[in-house]
């Protein structure tokens, strides 16, 4: 015998009496009631339904005995699985049915249950709320227990679906059997103990849930057992203390407490339950009682006192008379008023305004169930708390829950403390309102418990899910260079735009550093200094040659070509300065063209010198035909033709596909290299190839002339200078191709400086040595005489 259920029965009677005494609601109409105990059995529930619809001791389908006081509606069942069976039967006849405790989402299907309503929110909303609560506290690794009924199975399916959508994961999911099984209980206990999940959702009713002796967990209770005093006891508090549960919003019913404690067996002779209730409440036995539902202690010789009728209910502290937090009881109360208001609207019909065919109104004692069903669907009123009561298109009320916390107060009493609420009619993001500071967690913890499979990945890292495991079990992998993750628990790293790069923390894209060989750069400054210094040395050499232009050693080595070669070498040293600084379109074009033309001029001068040495020696024979080539015309022609071909190559290059500045973002990580693109790679290598060809010809010709007699033979020096020149540029090719950025430019400048310095040093430094330090050797007699100049 459940005191809580008996309180629901008395609440129906109280509400009907209250309505009958209210003049503004159903005037001149008196409501009555019939109550049937289904004993939590499908067969009895269906039998009771037929008994109500036929109003005869013999249940006869499709037959009604009482035509003067027709059945209006049925309130019940409390459990979902019984409500489903009753709703299928009542739906055939379109009798309105209102449940105050059946929450299974299936009952919202109007195609199957056209006449079903309820004053408690559907589990579809509750399941969604449970998952939102988990997400609110950041729990991503939870367990699930559900009873093996329609209520538990459908609720668990919805929870699993919502958990999957929210990004959380189930550590385990187990069903609670309808009948106690020690083996199953041990299995569930082992699963919970082995799991790392610290939060467990229990979606069940009080009939099937027996708390397990497992501490240190956060239990999330569905509304079916969240306020069950049979479970919330001091014996279970070490396990269930700190439980968070969803409960139907509580309400107050003025006068109910007085009514509940005012019942008495002698006053309610038609109440077939009251005598058994009295015996259970006071632990007594009525004299000559034939009740078989009492405890064995009522048998003779047990010492059980007789009930006298003088006992007082107000002296008891039992669940029946506790009206401190009316939840399901308030749903029962609301259900009665919903039927009354629907009847009132039916009776308030004005002629010609009837919603039914013909426009005729129906009377309160002469209507069909489907006619009242129409008014039930459209009923809307405010209860005594000022809250609006209505049903949506599925027969469900507004989804509002209280979130309660099981706590032990300082005075040692157990209480359900409201710590938040959910309201799906609220604005998005405000469906759940929590007072976290008011929550008392299991074990006296002050912080919100942790329940994750893997710790959250910080910014700069992405989640790498373990193969074959839920998505909540993962490793944190640092983002690669150029990628960021600016949110925690990022599933992917986002690649930075091409002109940006990731910072050190990998959580923000920052501008890439710009690189080019600048004058402020230490390497750029060094190369600039060397270039200028080398150019000054070359200019000084030119000045020496001009000053001593009439001396034999200057005249003997074709001074006009020497002047031109020194001028070209000066320009070679200076053109390297164009390679330093921020690349622009003009400088990019000048770099390649000036470098190619000036160097070709230098090599052409060397080639002309070499040819003149050979011609000079071979023209000493009086009969030689080479004598006509002696003079300034041939070297000038060699220089002009050699340089002109390079000029033509450069003009064709610059007009067709000239070099241009570009931002190279791929060569070096995290840097933008500002460099000159050759434009046409073929033209660039043609320019270098032509210059190399002239150098090789000069080297070969000079090498062949190195042993010609005479002190003024400079072929040996030209041979060595060309060897240095060719060696430098052969080494330049792999170095140039293997470097990037400012280092590639530095390699090119180094090749220019080294090859130019080789020509300057090998050809002119020995002559300067004689001119400045050995003037006695700078005579015609010495050059033509006995001493070997080569020494």
With a pLDDT cut of 90, the percent of the chain lying above it is 28
Tally: H helices and E strands in the chain: 20, 22
pLDDT, residue 789, reads 41
In this predicted structure, the answer to whether residue 169 has a pLDDT above a threshold of 80 is yes
For the chain, percent of residues with pLDDT exceeding 70: 92
Which of 228-232, 240-244, 416-420, 603-607 has the weakest average pLDDT? 228-232
DSSP 244-294: EEEEEPPB--TTHHHHHHT--TTT-TT-TTHHHHHHHHHT-B-TT---SSS
Confidence of residue 181 (pLDDT cuts 50, 70, 90): confident
Q: Which of 677, 607, 688 lies closest to 646 in space, CA to CA? A: 688
Give me 709's structure tokens. 């007699």
pLDDT at 70 over 80: no
Supply the pLDDT for residue 111.
Answer: 94
Query: For residues 666, 672, 676 and 682, what is the CA-based torsion angle, rounded to 10 degrees?
Result: 0
The model's pLDDT over 357-390, given as tens digits with 9 standing for 90+, comes to 777 787 767 788 999 999 999 999 998 878 899 9
**What is residue 110's predicted lDDT score, i.e. its pLDDT?**
93
pLDDT of residue 783: 65
Q: Residue 791 pLDDT more than 50? A: no
Question: Which pLDDT score is estimated for 385?
Answer: 79
Reading the block at residue 573, the tokens are 């040293």
Cis omega (within 30 of 0) on the bond before 77? Answer: yes
664 membership: H or E segment, kind and range: strand 660-664
List of residues 6+ apart from 496 with CB closer than 8 A: 482, 483, 484, 502, 509
What is the C-alpha to C-alpha distance for residues 363 and 346, in angstroms, rounded to an integer?
8
Q: How large is the greatest C-alpha to C-alpha distance in the chain, in angstroms?
A: 167
pLDDT digits (tens, 9 = 90+) for 442-478: 877 878 998 988 888 899 999 888 888 888 888 999 9
pLDDT over 50 at 127, yes or no? yes
User: How confident is the model at residue 364, as a pLDDT?
Assistant: 66
DSSP string, 701-745: HHHHTTT--STT--HHHHHHHHHHHHHHHHHHHHHHHH--THHHH
Tell me the per-residue pLDDT of 507-522, one tens digit each, with 9 for 90 and over. 899 988 888 888 888 9
Instruction: Give yes or no for residue 15 having a pLDDT over 50.
Output: yes
pLDDT band at 741 (very low <50, low <70, confident <90, very high): confident
Which of 128-132, 391-395, 695-699: highest mean pLDDT? 391-395
Walk me through the domains of the chain, giving residue ranges and CATH numbers: 3-120+254-285+327-384 (3.40.50.2300), 123-251+400-438 (3.40.50.2300), 461-510 (no CATH), 522-649+681-783 (1.20.1070.10)
pLDDT at 296: 45
User: Is residue 712 scored above 50 in pLDDT?
Assistant: no
pLDDT for 173: 92
State the Cα–Cα distance between residues 786 and 421, nearest whole angstrom. Answer: 118
Question: Using CA atoms, how far apart are residues 354 and 358, in angstroms rounded to an integer?
Answer: 8
The alpha-helical segments, DSSP class H, found in 548-584 are: 552-556, 559-575
Q: How far, in Å, are 326, 561, 606, 633, 718 from residue 619 at the CA level?
A: 131, 19, 20, 16, 20
Does the pLDDT at position 787 exceed 70? no
Distance CA 466, CA 444 (A): 34
- The residue count of the chain comes to 791
- At residue 710, what are phi and psi to the nearest 5 degrees? 120, 140
DSSP class of 366? B
- What's the whole-number average pLDDT of the chain? 85
Backbone angles phi, psi at 664, to 5 degrees: -90, 110
DSSP symbols for 55-105: -SSS--TT--S-SSS----EE--SSHHHHHHHHHHHHHHT--EEESS---G
Is the pLDDT confidence value at 785 over 70? no
């Amino acid at each position: 015998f459940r005191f809580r259920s008996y309180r629901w029965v008395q609440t129906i009677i109280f509400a009907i009496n209250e309505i009958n005494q209210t003049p503004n609601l159903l005037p001149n109409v008196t409501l009555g009631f019939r109550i049937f105990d289904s004993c939590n059995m499908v067969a009895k529930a269906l039998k009771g339904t037929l008994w109500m619809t036929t109003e005869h001791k013999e249940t006869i389908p499709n037959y009604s005995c009482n035509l003067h006081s027709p059945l209006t509606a049925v309130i019940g069942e409390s459990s979902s699985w019984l409500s489903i069976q009753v709703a299928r039967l009542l739906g055939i006849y379109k009798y309105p049915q209102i449940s105050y405790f059946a929450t299974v989402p299936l009952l919202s299907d109007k195609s199957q249950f056209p006449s079903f309503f309820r004053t408690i929110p559907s589990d579809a909303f509750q399941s969604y709320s449970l998952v939102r609560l988990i997400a609110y506290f950041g729990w991503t690794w939870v367990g699930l227990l559900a009873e093996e009924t329609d209520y538990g199975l459908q609720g668990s399916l919805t929870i699993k679906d919502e958990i999957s959508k929210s990004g959380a994961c189930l550590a385990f999911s187990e069903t609670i059997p309808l009948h106690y099984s020690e083996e199953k209980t041990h299995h569930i206990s082992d699963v919970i103990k082995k799991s790392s999940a610290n939060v467990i959702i229990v979606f069940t009713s009080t009939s099937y849930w027996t708390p397990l002796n497992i501490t240190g967990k956060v239990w999330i209770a569905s509304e079916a057992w969240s306020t069950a005093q049979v479970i919330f006891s001091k014996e279970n508090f070490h396990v269930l203390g700190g439980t968070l549960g969803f409960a139907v919003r509580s309400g107050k019913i003025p006068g109910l407490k007085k009514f509940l404690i005012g019942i008495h067996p002698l006053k309610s002779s038609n109440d077939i339950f009251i005598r058994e209730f009295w015996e259970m409440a006071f632990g007594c036995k009525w004299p000559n009682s034939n009740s078989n539902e009492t405890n064995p202690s009522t048998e003779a010789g047990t010492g059980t006192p007789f009930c006298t009728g003088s006992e007082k209910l107000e002296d008891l502290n039992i669940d029946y008379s506790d009206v401190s937090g009316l939840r399901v009881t308030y749903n029962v109360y609301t259900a009665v008023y919903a039927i009354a208001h629907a009847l009132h609207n039916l009776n308030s019909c004005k002629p010609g305004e009837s919603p039914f065919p013909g426009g005729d109104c129906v009377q309160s004692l002469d209507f069909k169930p489907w006619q009242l069903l129409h008014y039930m669907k459209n009923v809307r009123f405010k209860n005594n708390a000022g809250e609006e009561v209505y049903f949506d298109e599925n027969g469900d009320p507004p989804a509002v829950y209280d979130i309660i916390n099981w706590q032990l107060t300082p005075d040692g009493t157990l209480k359900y403390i409201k710590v938040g609420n959910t309201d799906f009619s609220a604005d998005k993001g405000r469906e759940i309102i929590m007072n976290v500071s008011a929550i008392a967690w299991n074990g006296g913890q002050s912080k919100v418990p942790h329940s994750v499979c893997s710790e959250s990945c910080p910014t700069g890292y992405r989640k790498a899910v373990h193969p074959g495991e839920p998505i909540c079990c993962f490793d944190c992998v640092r983002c690669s260079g150029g990628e960021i993750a600016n949110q925690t628990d990022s599933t992917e790293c986002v690649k930075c735009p091409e002109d940006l790069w990731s910072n050190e923390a990998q959580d923000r894209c920052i501008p890439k550093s710009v690189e080019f060989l600048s004058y402020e750069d230490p390497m750029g400054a060094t190369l600039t200094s060397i270039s200028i210094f080398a150019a000054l040395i070359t200019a000084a050499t030119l000045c020496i040659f001009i000053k001593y232009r009439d001396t034999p050693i200057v005249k003997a080595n074709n001074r006009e070509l020497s002047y031109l070669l020194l001028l070209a070498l000066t320009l070679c040293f200076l053109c390297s300065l164009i390679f330093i600084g921020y690349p622009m379109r003009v400088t990019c074009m000048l770099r390649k063209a000036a470098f190619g033309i000036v160097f070709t001029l230098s090599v052409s001068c060397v080639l002309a010198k070499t040819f003149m040495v050979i011609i000079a020696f071979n023209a000493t024979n009086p009969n030689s035909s080479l004598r006509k080539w002696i003079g300034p015309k041939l070297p000038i022609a060699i220089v002009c033709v050699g340089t002109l071909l390079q000029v033509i190559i450069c003009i064709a290059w610059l007009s067709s596909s000239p070099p241009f500045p570009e931002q190279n973002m791929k060569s070096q990580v995290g840097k933008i290299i500002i460099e000159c693109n050759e434009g046409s790679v073929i033209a660039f290598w043609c320019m270098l190839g032509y210059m190399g060809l002239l150098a090789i010809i000069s080297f070969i010709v000079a090498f062949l002339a190195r042993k010609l007699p005479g002190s003024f033979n400079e072929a040996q020096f030209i041979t060595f200078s060309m060897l240095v020149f060719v060696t430098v540029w052969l080494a330049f090719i792999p170095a140039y191709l293997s470097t990037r950025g400012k280092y590639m430019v530095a390699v090119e400048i180094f090749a220019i400086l080294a090859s130019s310095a080789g020509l300057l040093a090998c050809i002119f430094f020995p002559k300067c040595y004689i001119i400045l330090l050995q003037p006695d050797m700078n005579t015609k007699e010495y050059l033509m005489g006995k001493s070997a100049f080569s020494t």
